[in-house]
Amino acid sequence: MSIKELLKIVKKNNPNADFDSIRLAYDFAEEAHQGQTRLTGEPYINHSLETAKTLAKMKLGAQIIQAGLLHDVPEDTDRTLEDVEKNFGSEVAQMVAGITKLGKIKYRGMDRYIENLRKMFMAMASDVRVIFIKFADRIHNLSTLEAHPPKKRYRIALESLEIYAPIANRLGMGEMKGTLEDLSFKYVYPKEYQWTIGLMQARREVKEKYLNTALRNARKEIEQSGIKILDIHGRAKHIYSLYKKLLRYDREIDRIHDLVAIRIIVKDIADCYAVLGILHSKWPPVRGRIKDYIAQPKPNGYKSLHTTVFCEEGEKVEFQIRTQEMHDEAELGIAAHWHYEETLKTPQTEDKQLHWVKDLAKIQEQLQTRSQYLKNLEDLKIDVFQTRIFVITPKGDVIDLPEDSTPVDFAYAIHTEIGDKCTGAKVNDEMVPLDSKLKSGDMVDILVDKKRKGPNPDWLKFVKTSSAKTKIKAKTKSKITDWLKTVIPSGENK
């Protein structure tokens, strides 16, 4: 990787970028890191370039790319943050400072690990661009893990799989999530990785040949109808995503129809639905496999139309149809709002996706002890880092919950009072027990009794979200306190 290659990527994605400022940042970083090498033996500046390359491929602005080039300078060289600010301004220095504050996780005991997580959430809440740089930095570190001892490889990969990839997912950064997962997978679960790779390669060779035929036929049908195709291509499923799906389907790869999908990008939403109609008029759709994420986006903002159809010879093929804007958001998530942004610190478009980060940062500020944080971290793994589902209210609002959430979790996610007075639930118009596990796409209607005084303490045995647990405990505690006041007159407990 060279500065010329980096600038070539920047020019392709952002022709109006300030190329001189990027080259100056490279020159500054190269001089600062002069003589330093990584464990792989390569010059340290290569890591800075690779980090910046990932940011450039995300179509991010010149200032973020500058910060990517400079992100290790204050910590690993004799150049200071003040030097960075003097040469590149406060915006770039602020991002570099955010990365420096995160520090490098050395795995010297749980206390150090906890402190880094705390810093990460705080940094994300103040400026989400810091996490873009951290992701890019982590991707290159994962790609060079072979140079580290086995135990360290495992620890770095596991953290990336359990913490960084789910955060990328919550920020809607699908491509980043997939890359972090795939690079980590082979170090955390090496045998499972090799097994999945073997299955994938054998199946894809057969599938891709057929897929090319389906792609040509689809293009012909769509273009004959007068709809302009901006892009049409095959997309292979990420390896770790495939592995998780295989586990859900009893390890039978023939039951997985999106191993390689065809993605169609068109001009506007009307064309998306028109293309769906064209595909269904040519090939019959598979029942239950039509998903409209345009009308009802996923909680992380993902929008697209998905359909699986029976093509020639009965072969099943998945199509994904979206606009260019939807595609950018699906690949880049919240980072898509930072295309060419050079001055705004927090675009308004990011607020909805970042509300959970800000809530998380508040929690971190309130936690004082190690034991508190450890206990809270377990709750965070459920609320933030687990697979998310989206459940729909009768009015069509989408509620974002962790996997295996129940109607009670859903009720508390809507409003504390609805949770407290919940007496029953209908899922898809059918009455279900309150400890039932919800699935994505379920429509849930909570039945309430306004006269009910509070939640059932037994709900604590099955609720998943920390929000529901906290509210149930608080209400139960207040009920006991109120009961004690009626049993023990106020003058008797003095």
Q: Which residues are catalytic?
A: 75-76
Given strand 291-292, what is the order of strands in its sheet?
229-236, 260-266, 316-323, 305-310, 291-292
Burial 173-201 (b: 16+ CB within 10 A, else e): bbbbbbbbbbbbbbbbbeebbeebeebbe
Q: Which two tokens stand for residue 490?
A: 């106020």
Residue identified by tokens 């295309």 is: 339
Nearby residues of 386 by Cβ (< 8 Å), 6 or more positions away: 166, 402, 403
- Dihedral (C-alpha) 431, 433, 439, 444: value to the nearest 10 degrees? 50
Q: Return phi, psi of residue 422, to 5°.
A: -65, 130
**Strand partners for 231:** 265
Per-residue CA distances from 235 to 208, 358, 404, 465 (Å): 10, 34, 29, 34
Q: Which of 253, 235, 152 is nearest to 197 (CA)?
A: 253
| Displacement of CA 139 from its chain's centroid (Å) | 14
**C-alpha Rg value of the chain to the nearest Å:** 25
- Dist. CA 468–CA 471, nearest whole Å: 5
Following DSSP, what letter does each residue of 163-218 receive, concatenated? IIHHHHHHTT-HHHHHHHHHHHHHHHSHHHHHHHHHHHHHHHHHHHHHHHHHHHHH
